[in-house]
Amino acid sequence: MKKPVVLFGIGEMGSVFAQGFLRLGHPVYPILHDQDMATAATEIPEAEAALIAVGKQDLPPMLEKLPVIWQDKIILLQNELLPADFAAWPQATIVCAWFEKKPGTDFRVIMPSPCFGPKSALVKDALGKLDIPVSILNDQEQLLFELVVKNLYILTTSIASLKTSGNARELWTEHGEIVHAVANDIISLQESLTGKTFNQEALMQAMLHAFESDPEHQCSSHNAPAHLQHALDRAEQQNIDLPTLVQLASEMH
């Protein structure tokens, strides 16, 4: 019998990973909200991995409570991750998931999901059982670039939708100016948050590749106002100016 995988967060994405692990032959032990983690850690056999598939807002308290026995086995897949979010867990495996799973539908692959960390091969093998492609990264630098690309895509498509609605193809072909302006602000924010300087053209090209991979993606998002405000709050904390985002916020009031 293969070692089990511990699962935190039995939502849409967690269920896809669970299916892959099961098809690979790993028992999956879900940890429910009302379960005591310390007790569970003593009752569950030695785990192969601990997949944390909770929402991004629930991640920090989850990591604080995570039993030490699982801390070198964790796999994270949350959106808007940056290295500071998992700095205390250097052995974490990070997945930039480029597939989606919505209630009542099957999962849908957009493009291969980059992955880095000690459990990358396990992730690739498990998702491979479902024909979900995974590309294993070579180093932390590649991981950082991929995390920033995903953040850039999510925040640009969401925030730009405050100016115009439509799908990704329409957003880029008909409203390229606002896409560029929002993306430039997001890149500035990512650089400030990471203390790194990125090749902006490479980031833009990677984001446009995601646009092309999912041209029908609906960019109108009920999360857009929250994304905008969160970005502005972080910019204030970093003491940087994001002129396009400030303008968009002023137009909302």
* Distance separating alpha carbons of residues 93 and 74, to the nearest angstrom: 6
State the pLDDT at residue 1: 82
State the pLDDT at residue 221: 67
249 token code pair = 């916020």
One of 1.10.1040.10, 3.30.420.40, 3.20.10.10, 2.20.25.10 is the CATH number of 141-252, namely 1.10.1040.10
DSSP conformational letter for 212: H
- φ and ψ at residue 94, rounded to 5 degrees: -115, 130
Domain ranges, ordered by start, for the chain? 5-137, 141-252
* Distance separating alpha carbons of residues 214 and 154, to the nearest angstrom: 13
pTM (two decimals) = 0.93
State the pLDDT at residue 3: 96
What's the CATH number for 5-137? 3.40.50.720
Q: What's the one-letter identity of residue 43?
A: E
3 state DSSP class of 34: coil
Beta bridge partners of 51: 7, 75
Give which of 85, 54, 70, 80 is closest to 119, Cα–Cα: 70
Give which of 159, 203, 166 is closest to 182, Cα–Cα: 159
Give which of 42, 205, 23, 52 is closest to 119, Cα–Cα: 52
DSSP conformational letter for 55: -
Distances (CA, A) of 148 to 2, 118, 210: 35, 21, 13
Q: How far apart are the first and last CA of the chain?
A: 59
Q: Counting beta carbons within 10 angstroms of the beta carbon of residue 192, is it exposed (0 to 12), middle (13 to 18) or buried (19 or more)?
A: middle
**187 close to 226: Cβ distance less than 8 angstroms:** no
pLDDT tens over the chain, length 253 residues? 899 999 999 899 999 999 999 999 999 999 988 888 989 999 998 999 999 999 989 999 999 989 999 989 999 999 999 999 999 999 999 999 999 998 888 999 999 999 999 999 999 999 999 999 999 999 999 999 999 999 999 999 999 988 877 788 888 888 779 899 999 999 999 999 999 999 999 999 999 999 889 877 777 667 889 999 999 999 999 999 999 999 999 987 7
* Distance separating alpha carbons of residues 170 and 190, to the nearest angstrom: 25
* 5-137 and 141-252, same CATH topology: no
DSSP assignment string, 93-155:
EEE---EE--TTS--EE-S-EEEESTTHHHHHHHHHTTT--EEE-SSHHHHHHHHHHHHHHHH
Helix H or strand E encompassing 166: none
The alpha carbons of the chain give a radius of gyration, in whole angstroms, of 19
